Structure 1
Amino acid sequence: MPVNAALRDYLKTRRSVGIAFLREPGPNAQELNEILTIGTRVPDHGKLTPWRLILIEGDDRIKVGEKLAEIARRNNPALDEPGLEMERRQFLPAPLTIGVIFSPRQSTKAPEFEQLLSAGNVCFNLVNAAFAFGYAATWVTRWFGFDTAAQQMLGARGGERFVGFVHIGTPAITPDDRERPTLEQVVSRWRS
């Protein structure tokens, strides 16, 4: 295959943009369809498709926030109004959030851990796809990805769980790069 310099350079400089810095507009319907197509083109040993996607956009972002605030209040009755407001804004200001649900399948070919990795790859592919269309994204997990009531409210079914939420929008900033580990810190050669 020929060298793809643009892709190489992108991968060397890719940097997530936090949800607080994602603005309108988000992807249009055609762009979103392509982002989802790219996002789901991941390693999937056994062709099990052990993941599903939930789209949260438009006014549903506000409705989800209200429901999250209700769950947070039930979990913590002492939560004050600023804390509740923070929960209401979990899916704002980003115009689009894609929840990636791990939905494991019975398989003798692909262990559950491998299926989980496939779901994680969907998250990262969605981030890269968003950037390919000129948007920015961030992949996060939050308490509601681990809370049973919140997971169910967001669309997870029995035996499923969220592996992440990919927030997508137009970047309001260009983030500075952060310090990365040196290869000497993380790479070693196997020796017999």
Structure 2
Amino acid sequence: MPPTTAAFPPPPADPPERRAEPADPARRLVTRQSLGIKHLREPGPDDAALAWMVRAALAAPDHGLLTPFRFRAVRGAARQALADLFVDVARAAGKDEASLAIEAERALRAPVTVAVVARLDWGHPVVPAHEQWVAVGAALGQFLAAAHALGFAGKLLSGRKVREPRIVAAFCGPGETLVGWIALGTATRPPGPRPARPNADTVLDDWVPPAACASLPPARRRVRAAAAAAPRVPPACSRSRTPRARRTPPRRGASGARSPRRGRRRRRGGPAGPGRATPATARTPAAPASRPASGPGNAARRSGHSGRPKVA
């Protein structure tokens, strides 16, 4: 049995009419929630508890057994060193004193902080990079689930700091990627209402071969079509923005003057086109004295005709 280092209230016994539900350990998996660092206190996980969390992470699916991740625990006096690093980086970015205090609290408030580092083999001949990232995410989920099962609360923190060169160099070796930090501790309050999540039937259905879809009843075809067309992002999190129209800069010649747009020059003597009126001055031939020195045809080409007077 794994060591229990934090108090965790036992779940209620299964009533006889609900025997079809999973056992207590499996039920805890669906009750895990993230809890911010301001709701964490001592005690944090000790060596034995951290070892169980890492063992759970190593049990995650990992194609090729590459173990494309590692964990680095920050605890004890190392928390102050991490706080100083956060403050130095924030001060160099021009943040005020209030922001510096918040950065220090992010390193000091949680009893234990665990850095998640990805170490992918980008040139692996069998396991592509996206499958290795899947293994990193699966290990992270297993780690957090084990922390919850042992009675601890926590949350994964990331943000702009994971891309700060000084912080990355403090945690990562060559070729590694800093994913974020897991803040761990004992919860000071019970978790709040669980955010709304999709029902299981919205992400699970029976696969039907494409050739057999035509033989389905019309009602089932409509259900499958509606499920396939359902939005993948909850409405509260989605952002719909109308893209701003892109303005094409005017074309200019070698002298810096605007060049005529192609495709808008009308035929000589023909109609100007629907909805487009041609000024009377553009239909009047330019006088020889008003032609620029660069050539007699420049002004004429810009006005849309040959520049020679029409012969009746």
TM-score by length of 1: 0.88
Secondary structure in 2 matching 1:158: coil
1:1-192 → structure 2 map (5 Å cutoff): 4-74=22-92, 76-77=93-94, 79-105=95-121, 106-153=123-170, 155-183=171-199, 186-187=202-203, 189=205, 192=210
Amino acid at match of 2:46: N
Contact persistence 2:28–2:149 (CA under 8 A): no
Mapped to 1, the partners of 2:71 and 2:204 lie a distance apart of 36
| Distance in 1 (alpha carbons) for counterparts of 2:145 and 2:165 | 29
Deviation at 1:177?
2.4
Amino acid at match of 2:29: L
The higher relative CO (CA closer than 8 Å, separation ≥ 6) is in: 1
1:98 partner SS: strand
Other-structure match for 2:264: none
With over 3 angstroms needed to count, the CA separation of the structure-2 counterparts of 1:12 and 1:73, relative to structure 1, is same
Mark the CA change 1:122 to 1:182 in structure 2 (over 3 Å): closer, same or farther.
Answer: closer
Amino acid at match of 2:34: S
Is the Cα–Cα contact under 8 Å of residues 95 and 168 in structure 1 kept in the other structure? Answer: yes
Letter in 1 for 2:115: G
CA contact (8 A) 1:135 1:171 kept: yes
Contact 1:123 / 1:139 at 8 angstroms: preserved in 2?
Answer: no
CA distance in 2, matches of 1:70, 1:37: 35
Shift of 1:181: 3.0
Shift of 1:183: 2.7
Could you tell me how far 1:182 is from its partner in structure 2?
2.9
> Residue 184 and residue 33 in structure 1: after superposition, are their counterparts in 2 closer, same or farther (change >3 A)?
closer
Name the amino acid aligned to 2:184.
Answer: I
Shift of 1:187: 2.6
Percent identity between the aligned chains?
A: 29
SS at 2:24's partner residue?
A: helix
> Offset at 1:117?
1.7
Distance 1:68 1:58 in 2: 16
Deviation, 1:179, is: 2.7
**Normalised TM-score (structure 2):** 0.56
CA distance in 2, matches of 1:184, 1:120: 21
5+ residue gaps in structure 2?
1-19, 211-312
Q: Is the 8 A contact 1:123 1:164 kept in 2?
A: no
Measured on the aligned residues, the alpha-carbon RMSD in Å equals 2.2
The number of residues matched between the two structures is 188
**Structure with the larger helix share:** 1
1:115-139 deviation line (CA, Å, top 9, x unaligned)? 1121122221111111121111212
Whichever structure has more strand as a proportion of its residues is 1
Structure 1, unmatched stretches of 5+, are none
- Once the two structures are TM-superposed, the CA of residue 140 in structure 1 deviates from its matched residue by 2.3
Secondary structure of 2:98's counterpart equals helix
Do the aligned residues in 2 keep the contact of 1:120 with 1:163 (CA within 8 Å)? no
Superposition deviation, residue 107 in structure 1 = 1.2
Q: Is the 2:119–2:175 contact (alpha carbons within 8 Å) kept by the matching residues of 1?
A: yes
